[in-house]
Structures are given as C-alpha cells and as structure tokens.
C-alpha cells in the first residue's frame, strides 16, 4: 500500500512537471501613444500574434497603461513596447514596470519605443538610447554582427538591404553596456547623423531583467518581411528568458 502511495505521488510530480513544460508562455503587447501614432501598429500586433501562435505563446494586447500594476505584470514572460510614443506611464505605473524588470522580467522595444518616456532616465537606460530625429523612409544597408547567443543572425542577408525609417540617436548606446547585433551604414542612405557607429538592434541584461531593442518597424511592410520576423522572434525569445 505504501508503495502504491509513493508511486502515485511520483506520477503526480511527473504530470506536474510535464504540465509546467507545456504550459503556454504569455506576453503583453503595449501600444499606447501620447505622441505620433504609427499606422503600422495593427500590423505589428497581428505579426506578433501570428508568431506567438506558431510558438505556443499567449498574447495580450493593450493601449491601457492601467495594466501596469503588480502583481498583474508578473503574469508575463515579457512586455513588448510596440511603437509607443511620448509619456505613456504615470509614476505608479513606472514603479510597477521597474519592479517587474527588477524581479527578472523581460522587455522588447520596437521602433518608436525609443521615442518614449524622455523624462524617465531609468527607461532610457533600459531601452539603451532615445530618438532624436529621422530622415525620410528609404532603403539602407545594414551590417550583421554575429553573436553566438543569436545563431539566427547567420541566416540574415549579409549585408542586409531594407527600407524603413532610420532613427538618429541623441546618444547611441555605449558598447560597454549593450551587445550590438545590427548596425546601420550611413554611407548607404541620406540623413544619418551618428557617423560610423550607428547601432539599430541590441540587447542587454539590465537591472535584474532583460531588454532587447530593434529600431525597425515604422512601415507596415516590415511586419510581413521574413527576415524582420525572424529577428523579432529571436528578440522575443531573449526577452522571455529563453536565450
């Protein structure tokens, strides 16, 4: 009888472990704008939802900053700031998001996520850089910086020619603080202001959590581009703590 009880207990443990392994992960896509509103936001939401469905990840989407409270944020493996602009969080919501990151949460910023929360220095350090200006949408040449943590980069075009809205930074992220994955060749387009060092995709461990930023994503076409989506999924994996 004792043996049967122990055997049953072990089966329960195995079942629990399996349930934990197959339990869907969940992310929050945040799209609030208090400045310029990108027409491509619905395209970005759709693309992330499709990627998530392919990889058994659940997605919640919101433009309501009221979601930023604890313990609500603890439900999410990562939070995506999709083309957010301006001052989108109040002081209490900022505190909740900061607590979320410090407890091991993940952040993925897409494009205008760097045009956001200018008066909150902690957020600037999380993202890595703040937007300054941009020229007209145009094609440019990108250089891939191979990183063993992101083997997906090897499948991207070398160089990568793509069309988007290219940001100039108030100050590019320090190479000692972030890992650069993609840089922009300013000789390949008109209007660059950051010179030879112009990163556009990077990641770093930050304040107990993880942050991945990709400058791409102004145009609707971005969100149907296979190479863009491949990089987006890799960033989501990192933000969720799976890389």
Residue of higher predicted confidence among 16 and 137: 137
**Mean model confidence pLDDT for the chain:** 92
Model-level pTM greater than 0.75? yes
- Say how many Å lie between the first and final Cα of the chain, rounded: 45
Contact present, 222 and 164 (Cβ < 8 Å): yes
Q: Is the confidence at residue 45, as pLDDT, over 80?
A: yes
pLDDT at site 24:
53
55-97 pLDDT, tens digit each: 999 999 999 999 999 999 999 999 999 999 999 999 999 999 9
**3-class DSSP state for residue 146?**
coil
Just give the CATH number of 25-239.
3.40.50.880
Q: Is the confidence at residue 241, as pLDDT, over 50?
A: yes
Contact present, 177 and 128 (Cβ < 8 Å): yes
Tokens 């083309």, residue located: 83
Q: Is the confidence at residue 23, as pLDDT, over 60?
A: no
Tokens 């443990």, residue located: 13
Q: Is the confidence at residue 161, as pLDDT, over 50?
A: yes
Average pLDDT rounded to a whole number, residues 160-172: 98
Q: How would you write 74-88 as a 3-class SS string?
A: HHCCEEEEECCEECC
Q: Where are the domains of the chain?
A: 25-239
Give Cα separations from 229 to 15, 17, 135, 226, 241 (angstroms): 34, 31, 24, 5, 18
Contacts 24+ apart (CB under 8 A), 219-222: 219/40, 219/137, 219/163, 219/164, 219/165, 220/39, 220/40, 220/43, 221/163, 222/40, 222/43, 222/44, 222/164
* pLDDT bucket at 7, cuts 50 / 70 / 90: very low
Query: Cα 87 to the chain's mean position, in Å?
Result: 18
107-136 pLDDT, tens digit each: 999 999 999 999 999 999 999 999 999 999
């Amino acid at each position: 009888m004792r043996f049967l009880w122990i055997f049953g207990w072990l089966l329960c443990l195995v079942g629990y472990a399996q349930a934990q392994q197959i339990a869907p992960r969940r992310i929050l896509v945040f799209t609030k704008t208090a400045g310029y509103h990108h027409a491509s936001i619905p395209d970005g939401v759709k693309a992330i939802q499709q990627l998530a469905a392919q990889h058994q990840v659940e997605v919640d989407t919101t433009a309501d900053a009221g979601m930023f409270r604890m313990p609500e944020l603890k439900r999410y493996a990562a939070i995506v700031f999709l083309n957010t602009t301006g001052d989108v969080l109040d002081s209490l919501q900022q505190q909740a998001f900061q607590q979320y990151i410090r407890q091991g949460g993940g952040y993925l910023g897409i494009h205008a996520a760097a045009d956001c929360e200018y008066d909150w220095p902690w957020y600037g350090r999380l993202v890595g850089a703040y937007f300054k200006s941009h020229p007209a949408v145009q094609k440019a040449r990108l250089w891939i910086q191979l990183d063993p943590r992101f083997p997906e980069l090897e499948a991207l075009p070398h160089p990568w020619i793509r069309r988007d809205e290219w940001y100039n930074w108030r100050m590019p992220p320090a190479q000692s603080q972030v890992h650069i994955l993609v840089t922009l060749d300013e000789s390949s387009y008109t209007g660059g202001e950051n010179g030879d060092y112009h990163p556009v995709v990077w990641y770093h461990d930050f304040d107990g959590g993880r942050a991945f930023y990709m400058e791409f994503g102004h145009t609707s076409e971005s969100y149907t581009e296979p190479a863009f989506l491949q990089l987006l999924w890799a960033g989501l994996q990192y933000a969720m703590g799976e890389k």
